[in-house]
A and B are shown apart, each in its own frame.
Chain A
């Protein structure tokens, strides 16, 4: 019975990682489509959303099946709970990638506006957080998860900075308001992706240490 459960857990892990890599890819391409003004790329991302939704439902059903049939405890229970939560985080990240792609579709049809804000730098930070949050799950890497948690502040700072830049630009070029607001949305969506990466990191900490660190200031919880 236990071997059976271990097999199911391995399978679940594999499916979650597949979903993770699809979603990572979507975020990467979404910001790229904004920068490159590439509508085909944006369309492709939008069309992948269904795939992610389907994966999410499958993973959730697998978790429910394992809970009902094996009634796991300890590390196995924490794993299933973490997967359930990470699963919905990843699905939301997929949605955010689609949102970014939709902004990209709009922006590519507009005159290029030169904003002094560097969206690529913010996107790279967010993508790195997302990738490493999934890595920390694979490697059960708690120190890494704590680092991701801290980096969320950096992304929030990027987002505030972008807000300020857009505000300044709006005052100078009110005619570009529509474009600027769409661009600001891209930043906000990226910031939300970082939040989900942070959630994933926190679930990894729970999985390994059985400690719920959510809503706790990092200074008190940081390892070592």
Chain B
């Protein structure tokens, strides 16, 4: 028996019996998982296995797709996020998201980061400036952009744009950060910066990351969940999953024998 293979610290997200349907087709089957707070959990699996769908259920990003149906419970701070009374905007403030393709607004660097706090009601210029600086520092971008905060964000490099999107997500002070292939469009150097950043951010945030890059999952995460055909096949410590997977499907996938 492998020791310490289930998270024991505080849980950030508790998922119980989650099923997810896109119209008639079911994408997730009976998912049960406890995602630990202030650690990095990687979701891996072949295309179409449901990992991105699962990630998007965590801040109800799937709600915008017509015809979807969710069963089961997702609890964040003991609050069921699929109950009617939940304020989805508030939920997404708590559960931020960074996407595969960096998507800065066609505004200045400053405005990109200030956007979130502003729509949540902050107008104090001094405070906004502080939040922008702090967020950019946390995203390891401050030193590169501090002298040109008024420049259009679209002029930044791909790696910088992605870190700007991370800064933007951090500006509303989320508890949880969802990342969907955050480095797949970046060169190795920028990828390394984002990975280092993930490592720094986990001291303050719970991070859930979807990645197709197996080595990346192994490098950045503490816990790994392997999805296959809509089911959670295996979940455990990353070190254990990558050296000694329990399930044959996991082994076949991570060693490249299928998928």
**Binary B-proximity of A63-78 (CB < 8 A = 1, otherwise 0):** 0000000011111111
Interface residues of B, dominant DSSP: helix
Selected interface stretch from B5-13, B96-104, B184-192, B242-250? B242-250
B73 at the interface (CB under 8 A from A): no
- Distance (whole angstroms) from the CB of A99 to the closest CB of chain B: 36
Contacts of A210 in B (CB 8 A): 243-244
A81 to chain B: closest residue by CB = B243
**Measured CA separation A77–B214 after assembly (Å):** 14
CA distance A5 to B257 in the complex (A): 10
Q: Check A1 for interface membership: any CB of B closer than 8 A.
A: yes
Q: Is A2 an interface residue (CB 8 A)?
A: yes
In the complex, which of the residues A1, A5, A73 contacts B242, with contact meaning CB atoms closer than 8 Å? Answer: A73
Most buried by A among B215, B244, B254: B244
Among the listed A5, A73, A75, A78, which residue makes an inter-chain contact with B214, where contact means beta carbons less than 8 Å apart? A73
A5, A77, A78: the one contacting B256 at CB < 8 Å is: A5
Q: Assuming A78-B243, A210-B243, is B218 touching A73 (CB within 8 A)?
A: yes
Whether A2 and B257, one on each chain, are in contact in the complex, defined by CB atoms closer than 8 angstroms, is: yes
For residue A5, which residues in chain B have a CB less than 8 angstroms away from its CB? 256
- Answer yes or no: B251 CB below 8 A from chain A CBs: yes
Chain A interface, number of residues (Cβ within 8 angstroms): 12
Contact between chains at B245 and A74 (CB < 8 Å): yes
CB distance from B169 to the nearest CB of A (A): 30
B244, B251, B256: the one within 8 Å of A1 (CB):
B256
Q: Is the CB of B257 within 8 A of A73?
A: no
* Chain A residues within an 8 Å CB radius of B257: 2
Q: Is the interface of A mostly helix, strand, loop or mixed?
A: helix
Residues facing B in A194-214 (CB within 8 A) are: 210
| Partner pick for A2 among B215, B243, B256, CB 8 A cutoff | B256
Kindly provide the distance from the CB of B189 to the nearest chain A CB, expressed in whole angstroms. 18
B256 touches A75 (CB 8 A): no
A101 to B251, CA, bound (A): 46
Chain A residues, Cβ within 8 Å of B250: 74
Q: Does B255 count as interface, using CB distance less than 8 angstroms?
A: yes
Contacts of A75 in B (CB 8 A): 251, 255
Contacts of B244 in A (CB 8 A): 74, 78, 210
Cα A5 to Cα B251 in complex, Å, equals: 15
Q: Give the distance in Å from the alpha carbon of A72 to the alpha carbon of B215 in the complex.
A: 9
A72 to B255, CA, bound (A): 7
Which residue of A1, A71, A77 is within 8 Å of B243 (Cβ)?
A77
| CB–CB A74/B256 < 8 A | no
Question: CA A127 – CA B251 in complex, angstroms?
Answer: 36
Of B218, B242, B243, B251, chain A has the most CB atoms within 10 Å of the CB of B243
Query: Which of chain A's residues has its CB closest to B240's CB?
Result: A210
Q: How far is the CA of A75 from the CA of B255 in the complex (A)?
A: 8
Determine whether the beta carbon of B215 is less than 8 Å from that of A74. no
A44-82 vs B, Cβ < 8 Å mask (1 yes, 0 no): 000000000000000000000000000111111110000
In the complex, which residues of chain B have a beta carbon less than 8 angstroms from the beta carbon of A71? Answer: 214-215
Minimum C-beta distance from A55 to chain B (A): 27
Whole-angstrom distance between the alpha carbons of A53 and B49 in the complex? 48
Q: Which residues of A contact B243 (CB under 8 A)?
A: 73-74, 77-78, 210
Task: Give the residues in chain A near B255, CB-CB below 8 Å.
Answer: 2, 72-76
What's the least CB distance linking A80 to chain B, in Å? 12
26 CB contacts below 8 A, A to B, read A1-B256, A2-B255, A2-B256, A2-B257, A5-B256, A71-B214, A71-B215, A72-B255, A73-B214, A73-B218, A73-B254, A73-B255, A74-B242, A74-B244, A74-B251, A74-B254, A74-B255, A75-B251, A75-B255, A76-B255, A77-B242, A77-B243, A78-B243, A78-B244, A210-B243, A210-B244
Return the 10 tightest CB-CB contacts between A and B, nearest first: A210-B244, A2-B256, A73-B242, A73-B254, A74-B251, A76-B255, A74-B255, A74-B245, A71-B215, A74-B254
Q: State the B residues within 8 Å of A (CB).
A: 214-215, 218, 242-245, 250-251, 254-257
Please give 4 more A-B residue pairs, beta carbons under 8 A apart, in addition to A78-B244, A210-B243: A2-B256, A73-B242, A74-B245, A74-B250
